[in-house]
Amino acid sequence: MGLYRNAVKYCWKWCAGSYHSGRGFSIPSHVFAGPAAGITVFNALDKLLAKLTVFSDFSESDCTIFRPLQWQKNGDRSYLIQERPMSIVQLARTVYDGIIAHAREGKPEEICGILRGRDGRATQLYRARNLADDKIDNYDVDPQTLLKQFEFEEAGDEMVAIYHSHPVSVAYPSATDAWNAHYPETYYLICSLEFDDAPVIRAFRMEPHWPDADLDAARNAIPFDEVRPGLFGYFQDAGAPVPQEVGDFLVETVPPLYIVFALDGSGAVEDFRVVGVREFPVHISEGG
């Protein structure tokens, strides 16, 4: 019974400590002694997660969905995950219609732009120039448009989102999108015109991490795709079996995620990162 209480205390301590970070954390095997330690930890987690509810200050204007704690097992390691509050991305009707109109005008090329607003509410759209070399399946927002975010901030607003289109594919980030995601606190909106008469807009946040993991071992064990010359990506879906070589990449984020890396001219790894992908619901404000 003492071992069980120790497990619950340990889990609770780390729950509280990771509440604001939203990260998963590893439970070291040496913390609990005895042959039943592993089973005890999992049982304690089950009990804890069944009863524990995390509360936070909330007002109707926050439009926030609170999510429970979850635990995830990867081989002989376990991760207790506190999912951060899921905000609703609110788009004024003019913004929503404007994104779709921009995407249709630009097809078959990808288009892009930024959205101005505050507190997750986008009220104005600013079209940008796509500077990517291959605009058919890539985008690069011009720096002049990105600099407008400082103008927004001076007026008490912010760059709520960066948007781009997928002219013929689904509204989900690609490995290239993950590689190009440099604003982790900004929403990324994707407008899919896979079906011209049924456009879809979805919102994500993409958060890069640089874990201390063995990329060479992962490259030899899992199938990376060359998504563009010199850029390689691997997608780990939520709920899918996690290859052992991917385990060390999950220290700071959890699936769904991309592992992406770039090679220099000599074929050596120039940079790599793990990019967590989190989706957020989109609400259209008819009055805006």
User: In 23-92, where does DSSP find H-type helix?
Assistant: 37-51
Beta strands per DSSP E along 97-214: 112-118, 121-128, 158-166, 187-192, 200-209
Query: Nearest 5°: phi and psi at 271?
Result: -165, 150
User: What CA–CA distance (Å, rounded) separates 188 from 122?
Assistant: 12
The distance of Cα 102 from the centroid of its chain, to the nearest Å, equals 25
CA-based R_g, the chain, Å: 21
* Identity of the residue numbered 81: I
Tell me the pLDDT tens digit for each residue of 171-186.
999 999 999 999 999 9
* Other beta carbons less than 10 A from residue 154's beta carbon: 8
Tell me the pLDDT tens digit for each residue of 109-159.
999 999 999 999 999 999 999 999 999 999 999 999 999 999 999 999 999
Length of the chain in residues, anyone?
288
User: H/E element holding 259?
Assistant: strand 257-263
Mean pLDDT, all residues of the chain: 79
Answer whether 0.85 is exceeded by the pTM: no
| Helical axes 37-51 vs 2-17, angle rounded to 10° | 60
Tell me the pLDDT tens digit for each residue of 23-41.
333 333 333 333 344 434 4
Q: Work out the pLDDT band at 86, boundaries 50, 70, 90.
A: low
- Which pLDDT score is estimated for 85? 56
User: What CA–CA distance (Å, rounded) separates 23 from 203?
Assistant: 20
Tell me the pLDDT tens digit for each residue of 189-230.
999 999 999 999 999 999 999 999 999 999 999 999 999 999
Strand-pair partners of 202: 190
Q: What structural domains and CATH numbers belong to the chain? A: 2-86 (no CATH), 89-205+278-285 (3.40.140.10), 209-276 (no CATH)
Q: 83 near 238, Cβ under 8 Å?
A: no
* Identity of the residue numbered 238: A
Please compute the mean of the pLDDT values over residues 56-65 and round it to a whole number.
37
